Amino acid sequence: MIPTQSAEPDDRELVRTIREGSSDAFEQLVRRKTSKVYALCYRVIGNSEDAKDIAQLVFIKLWENLEKYDSQFAFDTWLYRMVTNVAIDFMRSRQSRDNAVNSNLRLVKTATEPEQALIVQRKEIDNVFADISTVLSPKQKTIFVMNQMEDLPSVEIAKILGCRESTVRNHLFNARKLMQRQLQKRYPEYAQLWRSQ
Amino acid sequence: MMACSDFRAQFQAGTDDAALLRHLRTCDPCLDYAAHSDPDVMFRAIGGDEIVPPGGIDAFVADVMHTVRLRGAEGVIAPPASTWHRRLAIAATLAIGISGASLVYQVEHRARVAPAQSVAAVRHPVERQITLTTKPAVQAYSSPNATIVEVPSETPNDNTQIVMIVDENLPADL
Ligand SMILES: [Zn+2]
Residue B31 forms contact with A (CB below 8 Å): yes
- What is the average pLDDT across B87-104? 49
In chain A, what residues touch B25 (CB-CB under 8 Å)?
122
> Angle formed by the axes of helices A165-186 and A122-132, to 10°?
100
Judgement on whether residues A88 and A111 belong to the same structural domain of the protein: no
- Domain containing residue A138: CATH number: 1.10.10.10
Choose the closest CB to A30 out of B36, B54, B61.
B61
Q: A193: pLDDT confidence band, cut at 50, 70 and 90? A: confident
- Tell me what ipTM this predicted complex has: 0.84
* Domain span including residue A25: 9-97
Instruction: Choose the final residue of a domain: A51, A72, A97.
Output: A97
| pLDDT of amino acid B86 | 45
Domain end call among A97, A131, A159: A97
Minimum distance, in Å, between the CA of residue A3 and any CA atom of chain B: 27
- Per-residue confidence (pLDDT) for residue A189, from 0 to 100: 85
Looking at per-residue confidence, does A146 or B150 come out higher?
Answer: A146
Tell me if residue B165 falls in helix, strand or coil. strand
Whether residues A180 and A152 share a domain: the answer is yes
Question: What is the Cα–Cα distance from B119 to B138, expressed in whole angstroms?
Answer: 22
- Residues with Cβ < 8 Å from A70, sequence gap 6 or more? A78
What is the band of B75 on the pLDDT scale with cuts at 50, 70, 90? Answer: low
Reply yes or no on whether the pLDDT at B109 is more than 80.
Answer: no
The answer as to whether A76 is a domain residue is yes
Residue A1 domain flag: no
* Whether residues A145 and A159 fall in one domain: yes
How many whole angstroms separate alpha carbon A150 and alpha carbon A148? 6
> pTM here?
0.67
Interface check A43 vs B, CB under 8 A? yes
Give me the pLDDT at residue A119, please. Answer: 82
Residues A83 and A41 occupy one common structural domain: yes
Domain for residue A53, yes or no?
yes
Helix ranges (H only) for chain A are: 11-19, 23-45, 48-65, 75-102, 122-132, 138-144, 154-161, 165-186, 188-195
Number of structural domains chain A divides into: 2
Last residue in a domain, options A63, A97, A131: A97
Report the C-alpha gap between A197 and A176 in whole angstroms. 15
CATH of the domain at A77: 1.10.1740.10
Residues A103 and A193 in one domain: yes
d(CA A49, CA A180): 28
- In a shared domain, residues A76 and A142: no
State the distance from the centre of ligand 1 to the C-alpha of A118, rounded, in angstroms: 17
What is the tens place of the pLDDT at every residue in A137-150?
A: 999 999 999 999 99
Which residue intervals of chain B are DSSP H helices?
4-10, 18-24, 28-37, 57-74, 81-99
Amino acid at B138: V
